[in-house]
Amino acid sequence: MSTAEPLGGDPDTAGNAVPPTDHFPDVESDPARGREARPQLHDLPEELRGRFERLAELGTGRTGEPLPQQAVVLRVVEREPKLRPAGVPLVWKGYHHFYAPDRRVHEILGDPVDQHVVQVLDRGIATGMVWEVCPSAGEVTLAEYRARHQARKGAPLPTEHVRRVIEQLHRALTALHGRGIVHRDVAPDNIVVREGPHEEPELVLVDFGAAVQSSPSLSRPVRHWAGKPLYLAPEAATVVQNVAPSGDWWSMGMVVAELALGTHPIRLRERSVVLKRLSTEDVDLSGIADTRLRALCEGLLTRSLNHRWGATEVGQWIHPDQADPVPITRGTAPSPEITPAPGSRVRPFSFMGVPYSDLEELAEALDRRHPGAAQLLSSAPRREELVKWLGQFVSTGPAVGGTSPADPADPLEDLRTRLADEPGPVTLAELLNRLGPHLPVTWHGSSLEGDQLPVPLERAVAGDRDARDLVEALRHPGLLTALAVRPGGEQLAATEEQWRRLRDAWDAQTDELALRHPLLRRRAVRAALARDTGVDARLLHLARLPQTAGVWSRRAGAEARRLAVPVPWFERLLDEADEPLRALAAVRLARLAQNDAGRAYAHLEERGRQEAAAALAAARDGLDVAMRRLDMLPNLGWAVLGAVLVCAPWGFVISLSDAANLAPQSAVVTGWLLAMPAAFVVHALELWIAVRIGPPGYHPSQSLAGLVIGTAERPSRFTLGSRWARLVSTVLMLVLFLGVLPYVLLWAPWLWPVGTVVALAVWTVRRDRVWRRELRRQRAVQAAVRAGRTLPAVAGGRTV
């Protein structure tokens, strides 16, 4: 650590060095003290060039302030390593001698305070400046980290990332306050971020040029201001600025609210108006969706010093094993002793029941409450009242507050003239530009800046009504160009022109892509590509942030990978997806592609089923042939058995008739002569039909053996049934044996073989016809299966 001359400028009444500041009224009253004495503002002092090598200029602290207040920030390396190993970069910062950091703060930060607080490795005084050297904690500030995340994701930081910021800031501020240091300028620009492997932030609190060292529990007045108005606590806005740790906790609350909302909760920019708003109104935190996060912000942004949260309450909120503290928002902060603005003596104008005396406040209210603004401007009496109120700021004599007379060419005077008729969107934009030139560029209360524009546009695509109304309002020709003069709207004029070109190109592309499809499909393609509000929102997003096209290309590729089968026309469209509009068209046509893929997949599945059925049928045919060959011998055995069962009774009947002399000898001889050929015919017919039908269709349903066995089973089951069944069967048997059988035995024993042959011949013809009909049916079924046609309908178990 260098032990050069003491740091700091003129001491204040408490003996402390006067810290650097954002607002220095004393500089103008004492030009000698505020005079710039640094010979080099973009390089190292001459006496330090032998020790450090300049790598790059990182910027100047407190940009936008008068030059003497700026700090020069350089990235350097040591020529002879002492503070860090060789080649490790450091951050060198040189202050104007009158705005040097508090010497005691430098001494405390010379030792490690916390891993989330930057350490001062060395310090000293060079020609015309006080300098310090710190480790390089990164190049991305928290403001840039938030903007980049919103540009990529289109939404504020995730709650887990915001919670990580809270934990690390709590550690940093607790460590600082424990050593008696009040930072006084906690803001996203003074927090350096390094991203972890999952994009989680790792913070380091830097820039202690405004910090002072005092008792942690004692607040003291400092006559020189420090801090940015948007992050400044209300009690710190007095002429004699109050310095206490509670101011840092308020600033932390503003940082957290900005991260949770995606934009600063106060959209005003005029210093006096911002400080007035902070001292008189609570910060609107209703947009924070997470209830615990909103409660934390309410506790930190309480204007009452007695109820504002500090290290204890925030620590209790962080630890999940402790009950959450309850924020109390009652009470007010001390009124800031600000020099009254000229508007404070202006007759107020009432809008939505609220009186307004400041131009910027009215502009912010008209934009945020745009339905009420439209109602106001559609009423001739209310417009006349507004014109008269604006006349207080453009009077021909001395202006209100003692300012110079108004220029006759003042744009506000021209706007008053144009308000005679109901203004259009462009005129309203010009009116808001004139009333609040320092307000960030917004419309309908939504930010149009590059990193925040995706938020309402994504809501419009999702169907949010207010967001869709915003997109439809922005279609008005010339509106975005009129808003381009506002802070953050520098690219809006080019964006509007590019948006118009993209809309025209989209309409032409719709016609081209529709012609690629058959006539009956063109209506569906045009409906999918219709340029509705959602498409206009995406095209505006593309016009403002061209890198959006990459997201669409990846999404179109993901849609293609989800298709069940490739769709040729969609594949062709994906090949052209390097053009942004083609990528968006692919996203819009993904549903049609899914329908086509579904139908194609169903067709392929049906074809596969038919091919499988054909293969199965062929396999079954082969199996049938093999089984027929294996079962043919048993099949013939059943045929012989059936013939034997039928022919065996003939010999018994003829022999009985001959032995008993019951029939003429001629009838007996005829019976014996017919028995042998009849038996041959019976065997031949049964064997022929057995081979003709084959297994498994022949036996038992079409075989003679099956018929005999089945016929024998029926009377047996009937006889073995009830008593009445046995009685009936006995009577029938007696009739058969005593009536029919004697006649046959006595007179015509030859009728047995003849009758059997005739009956079998008739039945065989019938069996053959039935089998041929069934064979034709089976062949038709097989042909249909192999051809992939629908199978014939089946009724009653048979194909019809």
Instruction: Please tell me the distance from the alpha carbon of residue 539 to that of residue 549, in angstroms, as a whole number.
Output: 10
Lowest-pLDDT range of 19-33, 388-402, 612-626 = 19-33
CA 241, 242, 245: angle at the middle one, nearest 5?
A: 135
User: What are 563-595's pLDDT values in tens digits?
Assistant: 888 899 999 988 887 888 999 999 999 999 999
User: What are 671-717's pLDDT values in tens digits?
Assistant: 788 888 888 998 899 889 888 888 877 888 888 888 878 776 666 66
Work out the pLDDT band at 402, boundaries 50, 70, 90. Answer: very low
Tell whether pTM > 0.85: no
User: What are 744-755's pLDDT values in tens digits?
Assistant: 655 667 777 888
For 247-258, b/e burial (b = at least 16 CB within 10 A) is bbbbbbbbbbbb
Is the pLDDT assigned to residue 636 strictly greater than 90? Answer: no
Close Cβ partners of 367 (under 8 Å, ≥ 6 residues apart):
373, 432, 439, 442, 443, 444, 445
Is the pLDDT assigned to residue 326 strictly greater than 60? Answer: yes
Mean pLDDT in residue range 321-333: 68
Alpha carbon separation from 556 to 429, 570, 577, 584, 589 (Å, rounded): 37, 10, 8, 8, 9
Please report the pLDDT score of residue 269 as a whole number.
74
Q: Is the peptide bond before 31 cis (omega within 30 degrees of 0)?
A: no
Percent of the chain with pLDDT over 90: 24
Please report the pLDDT score of residue 163 as a whole number.
94
3-state DSSP call for residue 796? coil
Is the pLDDT assigned to residue 556 strictly greater than 70? Answer: yes
Work out the pLDDT band at 472, boundaries 50, 70, 90. Answer: very high
Please report the pLDDT score of residue 335 as a whole number.
41
| Residue 388 neighbours by CB distance under 10 Å | 12
Tokens 């060079």 sit on residue: 126
Cβ-contact 314, 253 below 8 angstroms = no
Cβ-contact 102, 17 below 8 angstroms = yes
Looking at per-residue pLDDT, the higher value among 116 and 420 belongs to 116
Is the pLDDT assigned to residue 768 strictly greater than 70? Answer: yes
Please choose, from the candidates 354, 379, 357, 381, the residue with its C-alpha nearest in 3D space to the C-alpha of residue 368.
Answer: 354
Strand runs labelled E in 260-413? 349-351, 354-356
Looking at per-residue pLDDT, the higher value among 69 and 633 belongs to 633
- The amino acid sitting at 313 is E
What is the token pair recorded at 446? 């939504």
Please choose, from the candidates 483, 377, 364, the residue with its C-alpha nearest in 3D space to the C-alpha of residue 423.
Answer: 377
Cβ-contact 640, 746 below 8 angstroms = no
What are the backbone angles phi and psi of residue 228, rounded to the nearest 5°?
-90, 135
Please report the pLDDT score of residue 734 as a whole number.
63
Looking at per-residue pLDDT, the higher value among 192 and 243 belongs to 192
Mean pLDDT in residue range 122-148: 87
Tokens 């015919």 sit on residue: 681
What are the backbone angles phi and psi of residue 273, rounded to the nearest 5°?
-70, -40
Please report the pLDDT score of residue 221 as a whole number.
53
Mean pLDDT in residue range 224-235: 79
Which helix (H) or strand (E) segment holds residue 446: the answer is strand 446-447
Q: What is the dihedral of CA 129, 134, 140, 143, to 10 degrees?
A: -70
Instruction: Please tell me the distance from the alpha carbon of residue 507 to that of residue 527, in angstroms, as a whole number.
Output: 12
Which helix (H) or strand (E) segment holds residue 726: the answer is helix 723-735
Beta bridge partners of 133: 92, 122
Which helix (H) or strand (E) segment holds residue 300: the answer is helix 291-300
Cβ-contact 666, 729 below 8 angstroms = no
Instruction: Please tell me the distance from the alpha carbon of residue 638 to that of residue 635, in angstroms, as a whole number.
Output: 5
Instruction: Please tell me the distance from the alpha carbon of residue 170 to that of residue 176, in angstroms, as a whole number.
Output: 10
3-state DSSP call for residue 50? coil
Work out the pLDDT band at 664, boundaries 50, 70, 90. Answer: confident
DSSP assignment of 335-348 equals PP-PPPPGGGGSPP
Strand runs labelled E in 228-279? 241-243
Is the pLDDT assigned to residue 396 strictly greater than 60? Answer: no
Work out the pLDDT band at 737, boundaries 50, 70, 90. Answer: low
Is the pLDDT assigned to residue 406 strictly greater than 50? Answer: no
Lowest-pLDDT range of 103-117, 392-406, 439-453, 585-599 = 392-406
DSSP assignment of 362-388 equals HHHHHHHTHHHHHHHHH-HHHHHHHHH
Instruction: Please tell me the distance from the alpha carbon of residue 178 to that of residue 175, in angstroms, as a whole number.
Output: 5
Which helix (H) or strand (E) segment holds residue 247: the answer is helix 245-261
Please report the pLDDT score of residue 317 as a whole number.
94
Please choose, from the candidates 259, 248, 257, the residue with its C-alpha nearest in 3D space to the C-alpha of residue 298.
Answer: 257
Lowest-pLDDT range of 167-171, 233-237, 387-391, 782-786 = 782-786
Contacts 24+ apart (CB under 8 A), 474-482: 474/443, 474/540, 475/536, 476/424, 476/425, 476/426, 478/426, 479/425, 479/426, 479/429, 479/443, 480/448, 482/426, 482/429, 482/430, 482/433
Mean pLDDT in residue range 137-141: 86
Instruction: Please tell me the distance from the alpha carbon of residue 267 to that of residue 284, in angstroms, as a whole number.
Output: 11
Please report the pLDDT score of residue 293 as a whole number.
93
Work out the pLDDT band at 634, boundaries 50, 70, 90. Answer: confident
Please report the pLDDT score of residue 753 as a whole number.
84
Please report the pLDDT score of residue 740 as a whole number.
58
Ranges 27-41, 278-292, 716-730, most confident: 278-292
Work out the pLDDT band at 408, boundaries 50, 70, 90. Answer: very low
Tokens 């209210």 sit on residue: 365
Count the helices and strands in the chain (H runs, E runs). 29, 18
- DSSP assignment, residue 393? G
Please report the pLDDT score of residue 553 as a whole number.
87
Cβ-contact 676, 654 below 8 angstroms = no
User: What are 186-219's pLDDT values in tens digits?
Assistant: 999 999 998 877 788 999 999 888 898 865 444 4
How confident is the prediction for the chain on average, in pLDDT? 79
Q: Is the dihedral of CA 122, 124, 129, 130 positive or negative?
A: positive
3-state DSSP call for residue 243? strand
Lowest-pLDDT range of 413-422, 454-463, 538-547 = 413-422
Instruction: Please tell me the distance from the alpha carbon of residue 190 to that of residue 73, in angstroms, as a whole number.
Output: 13
Domains of the chain: 25-135 (3.30.200.20), 140-318 (1.10.510.10), 340-437 (no CATH), 502-600 (no CATH), 629-794 (no CATH)
Please report the pLDDT score of residue 132 as a whole number.
92
Mean pLDDT in residue range 28-47: 63
3-state DSSP call for residue 576? coil
Instruction: Please tell me the distance from the alpha carbon of residue 308 to that of residue 327, in angstroms, as a whole number.
Output: 8
